[in-house]
Structure 1
Amino acid sequence: MDFGPDRWRLYRLAAREAGRAMRESTVWSLSGLSSAPLPTRLLFAPQDLRTADPTVATDIYSGFFAFSGRAITTSGRSPFAFTPPSRAWGEALYGFGWLRHLRAAGTALAQANARSLVDEFVTSKLGDKRLACETQVTARRLMSFISQSPLILEGADHAFYQRFLKILGQHVRTLERQLRAGALPYQQLMAAVALCYAGLCCEGLDRSLKRASRLLARELDRQILADGGHASRNPRLIVELLFDLLPLRQMFASREVDTPEALLHAIDRMLPMVRLFRHGDGTLSHFNGMGVTAADHLATLLTYDDMRSQPIHHAPHSGYERLEAGRTLLVADVGAPPPRPLSWEAGAGCLSFEFSSATQRIVVNCGSPRHAAGPIIQASRSTVAHSTASINDVSSCQIVDKKGNWLERRVAGWLLRRVGPVVIAGPERVAAERSEREHAQMLSASHDGYRPRFGLTHERRWLLAPKGNVLEGEDIFWGEGAAQNAQAIIRFHLAPGIKASLAQGGRVVMLVLPNREAWQFSALPVEAHLEDSVFLATPDGMRRTEQIVLAIRPSEMPSVRWRFERLARTFDPNQPQEQGPELI
């Protein structure tokens, strides 16, 4: 498959990126003409809120480095001399976030090991220097060095202390040059956070702190939306940012430096947004790059929510809606793709939803895998990996990938190295509206992602009954000049552990949940089918599951209605069932 008419978007993106590359080259060629002041001493270290495991320190001391599903055994060599087995592994190694595990061990051996590894990083020939020097990785490494400086410097001599200060100064200088060269938006935000860490924790970097504070305020205003979501629409990035911004807020207070208003307001908006995505099992919804939820991390994070805020239900700027009744919860993606520079993990899941009862997920998206090869990650971003409708199994978004003719493959390959697999085309008009009728919550949304190729607009409606025992929905496909061969395929991916079976000739699907709840799915006027599926957002790879599939031809049948109904909490057939209002 090639890029079709979207090839011109690909070429325009490449032209803009070429201009940025030229600007980078100019800045780096002039970098020797300027210098940044070196820190004269460390004042204090911020708290790292991420949980740590002291047993990992033993693995690292023995030369076993396991990150992101890949591992190497160094056999006495420096880990930095190895070519990273995956990009994620390299980012983790070069980011030094694992130092927190050594600090948790609390031993003199762990302290000496940390100093040795910092020295090795500086003196070794790196297996992937380009990756190690990327803005985001450099920023993470600087924050890790500062946060874990008590571990690194405990028992160190004066020579190492001065060498360590020089390393911090070099990182500050590198980040400032990368910012002048025109780093991508999220890289700018991470660089600003890291430079604020350095400016607040190190003496002698006051001018750098002023510049970084201004940049931080600007990027937070740009990237943290009015409802608290990140402009990438990725729930994971909200969590990751909060882990860095909460200690930063405390550092400004500790240094008695005026805290940027943008930082305070961003944190206040982001915490309720995290709760919007949270289901009864404590994990987050799987949209736009969200994978496994680290439950311990999330629990730690929410303890810093001083107001114990309630989840918001309406997030129009981020493009998410939350319906909640009784023990039942639904979170829906009703937003357009994020801005192109922030879309490297975005999925083609417009109008997809996740649905749960108490602590049990029922309908899910496949999620983003923690450890997987490129083709699996690419598949996880496709429309068919989401609980929504696709046309002829074509995704509603076009994502940069090596495909098409030789020129398209060449251009795409270069862009993948520069900006990653970003979205270059997708729904442009996405509309959503909430309402209530007879105390039932209703949500209606539509997108035009299939209009250019198939002449169709997809509209989806949800209705959640007041007690949460019934969820009704309808998918509608309309448009002038719709392709006659277009087939709409509607998928409902089921959470792992649910036992599904067909009944009444496919008109009904019986669902038995692990918590012994029984639900019934029905559809009109089509029959449902069960197909295999996989759930990718698991710590140990992927899990087999099933999906309910409906198929119609919009030219012959423009709409289909479906319904989830809870039959009983347990297997008691005599328990009366409430009927909800019908969807119009």
Structure 2
Amino acid sequence: MASLGRLARGGPLERLLGQRNTALRLTAIPRDHVEGDRRLGEAFLTGTLVHGAERLDLHDLDFSRFKPRSPAARHLHSFAWLRDLAAATGREQGAPLGEAIAGRWLVVHGAKPDEAWAPELWGERLLFWTAYAPYILSTRETAYRSALLNTMARGARSLSKTADKARPGLDRITAWAGLVVTSLCLEGMPRVARAESGLMRALAQGQFDDGGLMSRSPTEQLLLVDRLGLVRAAYFAAKQTLPDALEDTACAALAALHGVTMGDGALASWQGGNAGSAPRIAAVVEGCGLRSRPLRQARGWGYQRLSALGTVVSFDAAPPPLATMIETGCASTLGIELSDGSQRLVVSCGGPGRAKASLPDALVEGLRSSAAHSTLILDDMNSTAIQPDGPLGKGVNDVILDRSEDHDASMVSASHDGYARRTGFVHERALRLGNDGKELAGRDNLTPKGRRKGLAGLQFALRFHLAPGVEPTPTADGMGAILRSDTAPPWNFRCRGARLRIEQSLHVSARGEPLQTQQLVVTGETQRDGADVSWTFRRSS
């Protein structure tokens, strides 16, 4: 704390260049209703920025040493940590520190555009600079205040030219969101109409009609809801009318997020992400100001949700995302995740998400494979190829979906063509969750595509990765297992039409760390007319 305290006593603030003649001021300060992480804020006060598995030492901070390339360094440059700082301390203690760090940023990056001026970084920075202005603009030092406000204006003007150069999806939406908020809150900025138009265009380009991002990443979906919540707060602070189209889009985004939230309040681990922090997710949902019910039948977003009396199933029933939307897309088609109350039972292996992994690169790539998800793998292949340089290649093009509900159960079936070109087989998975939540019944079929037969003698495996803390005990007949955990009744697994074995697996925690666990593996061999395997998970009480 002593070294950080020296930041607040001058040095970089005295070297800020060129006090501007134009006197700018914030005409509105949005109120961020999302509670920050006090633990992270307290670590920040002691000189450490914690982001996922990364830790940055902030003592004697020099921004020239922290290029915005790693996830933690980008988090530092975004100033999103202001939310956690505010959760840990009030303005009296937090403002000198926030102003000192902002001053150091201005010294290195305020004079001319560089990589810290990436449009998505400027967008996020402006969202948090406006919402937490009391933590960076409480000083009476006019040179500093003028420099910061004029840099905000320059950043916004830069966004008006560069926002559409950001990667489509969350990054581009963030860039335009920052410009909208600055147009609403900073005196002298152009009218908000152009920024609104850019934001709605970015949303249309990066979001499905059902509200889910085209990256199909729950981790990014959480950030989208957070960004739109800050935009809404800016409209209310500026006493401006929120456009109906933007409000509807934000509500749809929240519904899609709810649709991939499991019974413990954390996320399903799709598209290279992990469950995340349930308290942080709850803080965003409660603080964004939106209300929406979970999206159950998602055509574009693609995650079908089945739920009954505490049992929740997430089912990936869509093709993988385009490489232009996410770099870490996964071959997860027809994978499932299952939870009973707060206890997860069946999971995907997950991944580091947008944070830096403490995992080897080869393992991170392996976590994108079909085998790292709870789905069927044929001939040890991915349903969609993962190319050596990272992007997804050929594989699943079409997913055919059918869903129905009756008085007894919810039923959904889907099929994909990811293996058809190479083996001649289409994979179909059908699920049925009883309305009492006690039984999830499934059936996996491999059927020849068209009139020609498939290849006989191919090995297939249905993998059901178990959550940490779930212990499987095989039954005497080798066709089932009892799944025991600390926080849920035992569940019985049974299969028919193939053989069951138990293997080691892993699951990536919310901190991006690998946790050892186990998996149920149901194996068999194709005939020329395919294969048919049925299975059930049934709660014992």
Q: TM-score range by the shorter chain?
A: 0.7 to 0.9
User: Equivalent of 1:533, from 493, 505, 519?
Assistant: 505
User: Which of the numbers 87, 90, 99 marks the counterpart of 1:106?
Assistant: 90
> What does residue 73 of structure 1 align with?
57
Quick check: 251-260 or 326-335, which moved more?
251-260
Q: 1:114 to 1:493 in 2, by over 3 A?
A: same
* Residue from 354, 371, 377 that aligns with 2:337: 354
Residue 38 (structure 1) shift = 7.8
Query: 1:95 aligned to 2:78?
Result: yes
Superposition deviation, residue 293 in structure 1: 2.7
Partners of 2:104 and 2:290 lie apart in 1 by 44
- State the alpha-carbon separation in 1 of the partners of residues 345 and 367 from structure 2: 19
Shift of 1:394: 2.0
* Residues 38, 205 of structure 1: 8 Å contact kept: no
Matching residue of 1:203: 187
Q: Aligned match of 1:167 in 151, 160, 178?
A: 151
Structure-1 residue corresponding to 2:466: 494
Name the aligned partner's letter for residue 463 of structure 1.
R
Structure 2 residue 160 is matched with structure 1 residue 176 = yes
Instruction: Indicate the residue corresponding to 1:314 in structure 2.
Output: 297
2:318 to 335, 345, 358: 335
Does 1:302 pair with 2:285? Answer: yes
- State the aligned residue count: 510
Residue 227 to residue 107, structure 1, CA distance change in 2 (3 Å): closer
Rounded Cα–Cα distance in structure 1 between residues aligned with 2:505 and 2:295: 31
Q: Given that residues 176 and 198 in structure 2 are in contact (C-alpha distance below 8 angstroms), is that contact kept between their aligned partners in structure 1?
A: yes
Residue matched to 1:477? 446
Match of 1:28 in 2: none
1:577 corresponds to: none
Give the fraction of aligned pairs with identical amino acids, expressed as a percent. 27
- Paired amino acid for 2:83: R
Supply the AA of the counterpart residue of 1:211: R
1:380 corresponds, among 367, 374, 380, to 367
Judge conservation of contact 1:505–1:527 (CA < 8 Å) in 2: no
Query: For residues 38 and 345 of structure 1, what CA distance do their matches in structure 2 show?
Result: 45
* Contact map agreement 1:103 1:111 (CA 8 A) in 2: no
Q: SS of the residue aligned with 1:458? A: strand
Are 1:518 and 2:490 counterparts? yes
Say if 2:168 and 2:206, in contact at 8 Å, map to a contact too.
Answer: no
Cα distance in structure 2, aligned partners of 1:471 and 1:110: 51
Give the deviation of 1:76 after TM superposition: 2.6
How big is the shift at 1:155? 2.1
Equivalences for residues 543-562 of structure 1 within 5 A: 543-555=515-527, 558-562=531-535
Mean alpha-carbon deviation: is it higher for 376-385 or for 292-301?
292-301
Partner of 2:306: 323
Q: How does 1:213-224 map to 2 (within 5 A)?
A: 213-224=196-207
| Aligned CA distance change for structure 1 residues 131 and 450 (closer, same or farther; 3 Å) | farther
| Residue of structure 1 equivalent to 2:11 | none
TM-score by length of 2: 0.87
CA 1:77–1:175 in structure 2 vs 1: closer, same or farther (change >3 Å)? same
Select which of 117, 127, 135 maps to 1:143.
127
Superposition RMSD in Å: 2.7
The separation in 2 between residues aligned to 1:368 and 1:39, in whole angstroms, is 47
Alpha carbons 1:135, 1:183 under 8 Å: kept: no
Larger mean Cα displacement after TM superposition, 299-308 or 526-535: 299-308
Aligned to 1:580: none
The corresponding residue for 1:582 is: none
Separation of aligned partners in 2, 1:561 and 1:59:
50
Amino acid in the other structure paired with 1:551: T
The match for 1:454 is 423
Aligned equivalents of 2:40, 2:172: Cα separation in 1: 31
Q: Residue 334 of structure 1 contacts residue 351 of structure 1 at CA under 8 Å; is this kept in 2?
A: yes
Amino acid at match of 1:518: P
Q: Are the structure 2 counterparts of residues 454 and 130 from structure 1 closer, same or farther at C-alpha, using a change threshold of 3 Å? A: farther
- Cα offset, 1:543, TM superposition: 1.4
Give, in whole Å, the separation in 2 of the partners of 1:250 and 1:516: 40
What's the offset of the Cα at 1:431?
A: 0.8
Q: Tell me the secondary structure at the aligned position of residue 538 of structure 2.
A: strand
Query: What CA distance in whole angstroms lies between the structure 2 residues aligned with 1:79 and 1:505?
Result: 63
Q: Give the deviation of 1:484 after TM superposition.
A: 4.0
Q: How far apart are the structure 2 equivalents of 1:220 and 1:326?
A: 34
Tell whether the 8 Å contact from 1:443 to 1:462 is kept in structure 2 after alignment: yes
Q: Which residue of 2 aligns with 1:563?
A: 536
- 1:329-368 residue CA offsets vs partner (Å, 9 max, x unmatched): 2121101122332132322111011112222211111122
Closer/same/farther in 2, CA of residues 382 and 50 from structure 1, 3 Å limit: farther
In structure 1, how many angstroms separate the alpha carbons of the residues matched to 2:285 and 2:109? 41
Query: Is the 2:506–2:515 contact (alpha carbons within 8 Å) kept by the matching residues of 1?
Result: yes
Deviations 1:182-211 (A, max 9, x none): 75343321111010011011011124x222
2:404 corresponds in structure 1 to 435
Matched residue, 1:18? none
Q: Which of 188, 191, 201 pairs up with 2:175?
A: 191
Relative distance call for 1:425 and 1:327 in structure 2 (3 A) is same
Q: Which amino acid aligns with 1:342?
A: M
Q: How far does residue 83 in structure 1 lie from its aligned partner after superposition?
A: 5.5
Distance 1:130 1:397 in 2: 37
Code of the residue aligned with 2:533 in structure 1: it is V
Q: Assess, with a 3 A threshold, how the Cα gap between structure 1 residues 347 and 50 changes in structure 2: closer, same or farther.
A: farther
Distance (Å, rounded) in 2 between the aligned partners of 1:38 and 1:198:
17
Kindly report which structure 2 residues correspond to 1:388-403, keeping only aligned pairs within 5 A, or say none: 388-402=375-389
- Partners in 2 of 1:243 and 1:438 — Cα distance? 37
Q: Distance in 2 between matches of 1:327 and 1:182?
A: 40
Residue 249 of structure 2, aligned match among 224, 245, 266: 266
Q: Distance in 2 between matches of 1:58 and 1:302?
A: 23
Distance 1:336 1:98 in 2: 35
Distance 1:538 1:183, change over 3 A: closer
CA shift, 1:476, in A, is 0.8
Q: Is the 8 A contact 1:277 1:331 kept in 2?
A: yes
> Alpha-carbon deviations, 1:3-51, whole Å to 9, x = none?
xxxxxxxxxxxxxxxxxxxxxxxxxxxxxxxxxx988221122223443
Distance 1:183 1:350, change over 3 A: closer
Matches within 5 A, 1:116-127: 116-124=100-108
When residues 516 and 151 of structure 1 are mapped into structure 2, their CA distance, relative to the original with a 3 A threshold, is: closer
**Residues 67 and 93, structure 1, Cα contact 8 Å, conserved in 2:** no
Distance, in Å, in 2 between the alignment partners of 1:517 and 1:179 is: 51
- Give the letter for the 1:288 counterpart: Q
AA aligned to 1:565 is R
Q: How far did 1:457 drift?
A: 1.2
- Measured in 1, the distance between the counterparts of 2:227 and 2:376 equals 37
Question: What is the CA distance between 1:438 and its match in structure 2?
Answer: 6.4
1:342 partner SS = coil
TM-score under structure 1 normalisation?
0.81
Q: Which is further off, 287-296 or 539-548? A: 287-296
Taking the aligned partners of 2:165 and 2:282, their CA distance within structure 1 comes to: 38
Distance 1:57 1:230, change over 3 A: closer
Which structure shows the higher helix fraction? 1
> Contact between 1:371 and 1:541, CA under 8 Å: does it hold in 2?
no
Cα distance in 1, alignment partners of residues 394 and 128 from structure 2: 37
